[in-house]
Structure 1
Amino acid sequence: MNNFDPLASAQAALFSLFTGGPLWLATHFFVEPQTTAQSGKPDHSRAPIDASKDAAPLERSRPAIAPSCGRHGLAATNGPQWLSNRFEHGGHTHRFKLYVPSVYHGQPLPMIVMLHGAHQDPDDFAAGTEMNEAAEAHGYIVAYPEQSESTNLLRCWHWFRPSDQARESGETSMIAALTREVIAAYHVDPTRVYVAGMSAGGAMAVNLAVTHPDLYAAAAVHSGVAFGVADEAFSALCAMNDGMSKVRLPARLPEGLQHRVVPLIVFHGDADEIVHPRNSDQIVAMRALLHGDCSASLEPSSTYVEKTKNGYAYTCCVFRDENRRPVGEQWLVHGLGHAWSGGNIEGTYTDPCGPHATSEMVRFFNQFALGT
């Protein structure tokens, strides 16, 4: 991946120029999504102790951040860790953050890879989604890859570029490589690795689920788009705006991988003016295309409507296979805009008045492991 890709920089600048013009709503996906957060930088003073931001890069010969104990024989910590580090891939350096729960003592734990949206970073995303709190409660390690401003001025993942929709190249390849490195460094349970994202990060989570079904046991997509609905910036804006672009799946995957379809939980607000709610339907349809049985897979096995204590009602459709095993869920939150449902206003692009998406994602993930 070229950190100084002139096309990417030109596209980012173009998106900035769109702000306030006719394409204002669509470009907020790249520029600044709707948020209910307070203005100003979120306060992360209550986060666990952070490691040095100048820590050594992650290398195959040694972990980026040494595990607290276990076979490495290091002293155990007394609480959770919120760690910063760097990862070398393709000749470039990528920053990421890692949450290690207090229950970790070298044993295999499950892991979630969290992909932030435009204008966010790992600290902001962790605060808004409260994923670290959920990870502490359920015993998960959480990795937060960071999109840098040197790669994209708006910190947006390039989910729409063909090179970033491929298994062997681009940002999908980089995030998958980082996932494998953290698995090795922390002896993560390789059968229980998951990916989740919001907005542009949600679209990139879809890319990873499609291209790496052997790595991620399940995926969560919040306010994202389906795979292959765009191949450059303008078609990406169109896809987000109407949710009617054609899904184009990869021509081929390595032998054997196409036989597994990653279970998906999808969240979207029906008042989202940045990414049309039809994109949620497209993700469900995309999964049916991957499965190869559209007519059977598109019909939910059950649907229920509820209302949260703190505001929004929602409709949840549960999808099961022919053996009645769960394979997907679609949550449409009524009244929610382009924001993380049930999120904490200490982070940006959140709305507390909805079902707690983070809790539902972790519950969903707990049902799945590779090889079962």
Structure 2
Amino acid sequence: LYVPSGYHGQAVPLIVMLHGCTQSPDDFAVGTQMNAAAEKHTILIAYPGQTSSANMQKCWNWFSEGDQQRDRGEPSLIAGITREVMRDFEVDERRVYVAGLSAGGAAAAVMGNAYPDLYAAIGVHSGLPCGAARDMPSAFAAMQRGGKGFTHEAAMSPQSETLGRLVPAIVFHGDRDTTVNPVNADAVVVQSAQGEALRAQVESGQVPGGLAYSRTLHNDATGTTMIEHWLVKGAGHAWFGGSPSGSYTEPSGPDATGEMLRFFLEHPHRASA
């Protein structure tokens, strides 16, 4: 857990960061530079760590049927860690978020689907939608060709179905990602929309001296952006704008960390539907 120096017991936001395969919490923190951003904005950052005993490559088991549902498997553990931090520190309950890279991105999609009451918004970087796979073979198929996720009702217990809502999402993917097919980002967007009619607005940009990107804003009837989809041209499977001191980073991409923080802070938890 990273506690910023500006925290003195006041209610602050919390972001849960889920690392990718072969990574550790420390490596992920260094690569994303999330702690420096959290220091600037006074945000608590929790880094759950997967163990090699649970997965040899230290991947979150997003593809396992028992690890995609509310109050079961890894989702229950990650939610438990989130709630433990909320018990031990003063956390603004309307500003609790979850984000991840690759397998961690897929796990973040699972958490947003299974716990829309807990997380105000999610960040999915180079990941897949919740329910894209049921086992290891279907996981590899979804990574290579794309997988469709299921809706929140399938991920939650019957007692929780009334908690379903559109969970705002910011999604990043490289168009040359050969590890996780970028069509999975489109599936995350569709899943996050939960069937609501959103209007798409496409913008283009380029990092000075770096990579170009398209940014699709999915707005509701009031003009509020509920989902952002960043597709980075020429980028592979890596955290954009990250530090080369960490693994799986692409420093020449847009600042995914800064953009995620901006998006999160723009989206406090709305009342459940």
Length-normalised TM-score, structure 1: 0.70
1:85 paired residue number = none
Contact preservation (8 Å) 2:129, 2:148: no
User: Hey, which bits of structure 1, 4+ residues long, moved more than 6 A?
Assistant: none
Give 1:356's aligned amino acid. Answer: D
Q: Residues 255 and 279 from structure 1, CA distance in 2 versus in 1: closer, same or farther, beyond 3 angstroms?
A: closer
Deviations 1:279-312 (A, max 9, x none): 1111111123x2x33xx33x41x21111101310
Q: Does 1:197 align with 2:100?
A: yes
Give 2:74's aligned amino acid. Answer: E
Query: What are structure 1's unaligned runs of at least 5 residues?
Result: 1-97
Deviation for aligned residue 1:246: 3.2
Deviation for aligned residue 1:255: 3.8
Match of 2:182 among 270, 273, 277: 277
Tell me the SS of whatever aligns to 1:110.
strand
Deviation for aligned residue 1:149: 1.1
Q: Does 1:165 align with 2:71?
A: no
2: CA distance, partners of 1:310 / 1:106: 41
1: CA distance, partners of 2:209 / 2:86: 37
Deviation for aligned residue 1:371: 3.5
Deviation for aligned residue 1:348: 0.3
1:257 paired residue number = 163
Matches within 5 A, 1:110-125: 110-125=13-28
1: CA distance, partners of 2:190 / 2:203: 20
2:235 paired residue number = 336
2: CA distance, partners of 1:164 / 1:156: 12
Contact preservation (8 Å) 2:109, 2:129: yes
1:188 paired residue number = 91
Contact preservation (8 Å) 1:99, 1:143: yes
Query: What are structure 2's unaligned runs of at least 5 residues?
Result: none
Tell me the SS of whatever aligns to 1:202.
helix
2:256 paired residue number = 357
Deviations 1:236-262 (A, max 9, x none): 00001011x33223435514211x111
Matches within 5 A, 1:39-50: none
Give 1:171's aligned amino acid. Answer: E
Tell me the SS of whatever aligns to 2:129.
coil
2: CA distance, partners of 1:219 / 1:248: 16
2: CA distance, partners of 1:241 / 1:371: 35
2:148 paired residue number = 246
1: CA distance, partners of 2:163 / 2:110: 14
2: CA distance, partners of 1:366 / 1:176: 20
Matches within 5 A, 1:1-372: 98-243=1-146, 245-249=147-151, 250-251=153-154, 253=157, 254-258=160-164, 260-288=165-193, 290=194, 292-293=195-196, 296-297=197-198, 299-300=199-200, 302-371=201-270
Contact preservation (8 Å) 1:310, 1:354: no
Give 1:277's aligned amino acid. Answer: P
Tell me the SS of whatever aligns to 2:47.
strand
1: CA distance, partners of 2:12 / 2:192: 28
Give 1:248's aligned amino acid. Answer: F
1: CA distance, partners of 2:229 / 2:269: 21
Equivalenced residue count is 267
Q: Residues 322 and 349 from structure 1, CA distance in 2 versus in 1: closer, same or farther, beyond 3 angstroms?
A: same
Give 1:368's aligned amino acid. Answer: H
Deviation for aligned residue 1:119: 0.3
Deviations 1:92-118 (A, max 9, x none): xxxxxx100000111111010000000
Q: Percent identity?
A: 50
2: CA distance, partners of 1:367 / 1:190: 15
RMSD, matched Cα: 1.2
Contact preservation (8 Å) 1:310, 1:352: no
Give 2:35's aligned amino acid. Answer: N
Tell me the SS of whatever aligns to 1:190.
strand
